[in-house]
Chain A
């Protein structure tokens, strides 16, 4: 730490030297034991110098000096000798006097980059650079004209952008420390902060960007756009560092944020950086097994996560049976996962929100990136169409896995085929500083044929339009409209007599308006409204070919409308206490045309006892549901480095997935709430304690939660979910509860950094119907499929040098619950199994170690292409982690088996580049 101090001092000296060149105006005068303020007014009279200082602090300073045409710095040096005061002078002749920490008034921007390139090969301690970069500032900015504003405060607003690509930066903290006032940029990179008039040092920090400090003098409301420089150092620590103030000072709890750099450093299974695999390393996130993209957040089912891709819902986030997520990692700007304390603007799912934002496209110059791994190849291009105004980003990714399949010496496998691709195109148009238009288009496609002849394929489609408009410094709005679609097709033509084609589709159209209104430094209001339209084709089964005797069978279409309005206010009661209160009101209506079957009251719903059918014509309301969803959060800063947070949330979910397999299958269907399938309601209370420790590079957090879920879908034994005309006869209504505590310790900088987390969590269900057919486990509470009480994650990154780094990932969790047979019996010479209570056993515990080594190219900032190699080893110990344990009746004999997905170490080498 001594080093960094020295660097600072040296820098200060340099800056003074440089400044003196521009602004030295000789001072003449005699001062005898005068107050500092008197001294200042004298100097200000005879020169252009303007002083900024805290009168209180400098009360004690008396000036006794005789000067004859002496430079001001010489005089000040004498005055402040043996005191703790420091000063600096910028080129506009502003003089800042501070207690202890000098403001670095100015430093030429080339200073660092030059030095940086020169020291490229020497292995300097990185911390020195980080420290040094933090104090780098630019000129002092004067905002507004003195005297035009009669109020005590003024509002400053503007965009924070990446200086190279011109892209707006989200979640950037803009704050001053005295008094502690802060703001965070919104989804458009826009911030608004109300500050007392006068000089301030704005500190701007963001994920993966170099910290910036801006000295400002605020006279009246004004605009300040801030450009941030990307942290070109491939430092692991930079990635996590930026959000650290937010962890303690931010209001949000249960929020996990990361960007491409975080994803990139984790060892991966198949050489591909993956969004959802990264999410799985976070505390509170579980999965039923490897090779599935479905994830469970705090005891919620996989369909209870709202996955947003540039504001549009994604229904199936998986590629290739779930081994990859359906998002090209290169284009991802940032990812946020809300586990609790979800703000009122989000709704529709009860467990979590996974919000993915893609980059907008470089507004300054053309560039591209890509990567090659044994399974996939990907490429992205971006650049300006009109410089600084209109930019684009296109990307594509595909697999060439088919050749691998053919190499496998098993006739069952080498006749299999699997392929996927995803494409994305973004267009961003800054019409003028007040209006911005963004268009996003995305599609993903998967097709596979396993052994047999049945071909499965599925697609996601997204098309979105977003218009941002700034009404004033304090009010801005977003108008978003988007389309999300998902469809799958199953086709089998091997037996011409039974040849068929089965289609499923869901389409969602959404329009919403969101507003942020920064009322004053105490209140930030967000409000909005929106409408969603759902159209489902739950199943269309058709014959293929003239020989087929398949009866065309089409399930009734489903359609519904969901409306919502919300308002939320963030209220800073005092610098220590920050509150958020929000309410969202959603209203859902299932609409005709539709036939609803009626079953006698008090009996088990069964297709056999339908006594009547109600017919609803087109547009007629079949049933409607709705209600308020309360959102509340509070943060109390107990010290500068420690805070308590508490939150309560209610969510309503009108769209559920029907699935009675362990992992998400491509053929799982989404179902709208109807008269029998009532909306899911989830409530969560959470409590957290956050601490930054020791130069703030250690963060500790503990969060505990308790969750209640109503109208959870459960299934009767042997439920048929595909082409079922009365699904209500096969589903059961369960209650769920989940609770747990997440403990995390994180080191955010240094050669060795990373995090360790331990999670204790339970996820329990209870299905107690009126008859035994509608009851599971005799009505007692049983663990859900993803109840894994103990989970430990350790992520450690070690940097050998600027070019070589190593990461390790260690995962442990309790095995998931499974149902094992209670016994067997023999009849006609065949052994058969019988099952009773659900989920009474567990598969063996899960343990995995991964390792990866990243080799970066050299770090010249200007060169043709930046690239890195990544060598990773997944499942280093080759442990055969169980995916499932099962018993099977084979040739009349019972055999027990354990299935592991990755039964061995998987090494992968991938090459990634950026130009």
Chain B
């Protein structure tokens, strides 16, 4: 196991190394509720079940629960369980100022959240980026709201970037006929995407304006795969209540800010939901509802500064070889190899470059070759 030892400060030789305590008690699975019912798009609530930290199996979800929202007059709208623990609100017409979430789990436990106000986020002023002098690209968000509207914000994002495989292939090798066949299928350019994993929140109530200026959301190295062709990020902005902000802040502290000498101690999360019959039955989570706003930006590779080190891509170890036309009869072909481009001696085609499939087909490193609809 590789040890990462850091000089934390001065002469003190601090050392952080991977570690798992030998005895971890596992509790009864706890019902977890996560979600912001975004009436302006992905309107979903996730019901999950906690599991042991050392459990590396598939995530556990709560399926088959009855989930609905309810206004203060008792009008209800039911959410549909689409897949796993995802519950979707399909017919969005929010008319009341406040709603609460109700859940009946398959084991007939009744849960309810507090009534929360429908909060509409202000428009995002800008999503920008800057290159820092430690060779990072930082994506920043700025916004402002009405002085009287909520000073608490949360952002999530979805980033997508275009990348290319090691060899551009227009041919494939047909093992049956032992021949090279032209193909128009694109497996050279792919798109990879990811969701924000960090909790991004900010409060402006220490400022004299309800304004967030250049708050860093995410960063990656100049040599990251994201900088190779084109990068795009879609930032979603939510307005939070004070309680929701506190909940996310606590979750952030216990999950991300932990581990430094003066770091906060982890603490028990409570949230705004409870079991209606037995308050001691644990449920963790926070229910929020409102309209999110969003903004997307694109950054082409030409805009990024050149890194001082090799780019970190899945293709760093790739090499190619040449398949001469004369060698085609003996060539064993796929699945382990794929052809790249044509090789010419003057005007004469003499063969094809080839490499292992992973280096040729960009889909094999996890991306998709279908161009996203929003891609520019």
Residues of chain A touching chain B, judged by Cβ–Cβ distance below 8 Å, are: 270, 289, 291-292, 320-321, 323, 374-375, 401, 404-405, 408, 410-413, 416, 418, 448, 450, 495, 497-498, 500, 541, 549-551, 553, 660-663, 665, 667, 716-718, 723, 772-773, 776, 778, 785, 819-838, 840-841, 880, 882-892, 894-904, 906
Contacts and interface: CB of A to CB of B under 8 A. Distances in A.
Given A661-B264, A663-B262, A899-B16, A823 B48 contact: no
A832 B270 contact: no
Interface in B172-216: 195, 197, 206-209, 211, 213-214
Given A450-B9, A663-B262, A885-B21, 16 more contacts: A404-B10, A418-B9, A495-B214, A498-B213, A663-B261, A716-B267, A785-B265, A821-B254, A824-B50, A825-B59, A827-B48, A833-B254, A841-B24, A887-B258, A888-B256, A889-B255
B268 interface: yes
Contacts of B59: 825-826, 831
B83 interface: no
A821 B53 CA distance: 8
B206 A553 contact: yes
Contacts of B21: 820, 841, 885, 896
Contacts, number: 230
Contact of A884 (B30, B206, B253, B259): B259
A825 B32 contact: yes
B249 interface: yes
A823 B261 contact: no
Interface string B33-62: 011000000000010111111010001100
Given A323-B10, A549-B207, A835-B266, A898 B197 contact: no
Contacts of B50: 822-825, 834
Given A291-B12, A323-B12, A495-B214, A888 B269 contact: no
B329 interface: no
Given A825-B50, A828-B34, A835-B268, A892 B208 contact: no
B29 interface: yes
Query: Top 7 nearest A-B pairs by Cβ distance?
Result: A903-B15, A717-B267, A826-B59, A823-B50, A718-B250, A898-B19, A892-B197
B32 A827 contact: yes
B134 A900 contact: no
B18 A895 contact: yes
A831 B48 CA distance: 11
B92 interface: no
Contact of B16 (A498, A892, A897): A897
A840 to B, nearest CB: 8
Nearest to A896: B20
B317 interface: no
B268 A886 contact: no
30 contacts: A375-B10, A404-B11, A412-B134, A418-B9, A418-B10, A448-B9, A495-B213, A495-B214, A498-B213, A500-B206, A717-B250, A717-B268, A718-B246, A819-B266, A822-B26, A824-B55, A825-B34, A827-B34, A827-B35, A828-B46, A834-B30, A835-B268, A836-B27, A836-B268, A836-B282, A838-B267, A895-B18, A896-B53, A899-B261, A900-B16
B209 to A, nearest CB: 5
A300 to B, nearest CB: 18
B303 interface: no
Contact of A898 (B12, B17, B263, B282): B17
Contact of B11 (A374, A785, A824, A897): A374
A670 to B, nearest CB: 17
A895 B197 CA distance: 14
Given A660-B265, A661-B265, A829 B255 contact: no
A778 B195 CA distance: 36
A503 to B, nearest CB: 15
A202 B361 CA distance: 97
Nearest to A841: B21
Nearest to B257: A888
B265 A772 contact: no
Nearest to A777: B268
Nearest to B197: A892
A405 B10 contact: yes
Interface residues of B, number: 71
Contacts of A416: 9
A867 to B, nearest CB: 24
Contacts of A785: 265
Nearest to A822: B27
Contact of A819 (B35, B209, B265): B265
B213 A889 contact: no
B375 interface: no
- Could you say which of A827, A836, A896 has the most chain B C-beta atoms within 10 Å of its C-beta? A827
A19 B251 CA distance: 86
Contacts of A826: 48, 59-60
Contacts of B267: 716-718, 819, 835, 838
A899 B20 CA distance: 12
A835 B254 contact: yes
A718 B253 CA distance: 8
A906 B13 contact: yes
B294 to A, nearest CB: 16
Nearest to B258: A886
B226 to A, nearest CB: 14
With most chain B CB atoms within 10 A of its CB, the pick from A772, A776, A897 is A897
Nearest to A908: B11
Contacts of A661: 262-265
Interface in B139-188: none
A731 to B, nearest CB: 13
B14 interface: yes
A899 B6 CA distance: 10
Contacts of B30: 822-823, 825, 834
B48 to A, nearest CB: 4
B98 to A, nearest CB: 15
Contacts of B249: 718
B317 to A, nearest CB: 22
B8 to A, nearest CB: 8
A448 B258 CA distance: 21
Nearest to B205: A551
Contacts of B53: 820-821, 823-824, 833, 887, 894, 896
B277 interface: no
Contacts of A822: 25-27, 30, 50
A898 B14 CA distance: 10
B29 A899 contact: no
Contacts of B256: 888-890
A296 to B, nearest CB: 16
A666 B355 CA distance: 58
A366 B284 CA distance: 70
Nearest to A498: B213
B195 A897 contact: no
Contacts of A448: 9
Contact of A551 (B8, B208, B265): B208
A184 B96 CA distance: 80
Contacts of A321: 9, 261-262
B18 A889 contact: no
Contacts of B6: 410, 413
Nearest to A548: B207
B179 to A, nearest CB: 43
B149 to A, nearest CB: 16
A411 B27 contact: no
Interface string B88-111: 000000000000000000000000
B347 interface: no
Contact of A833 (B10, B134, B255): B255
B7 interface: yes
Contacts of A894: 53
Contact of A541 (B17, B55, B206, B259): B206
Nearest to A717: B267
A401 B195 contact: no
Contacts of B25: 822, 840
Given A495-B213, A898-B19, A823 B27 contact: yes
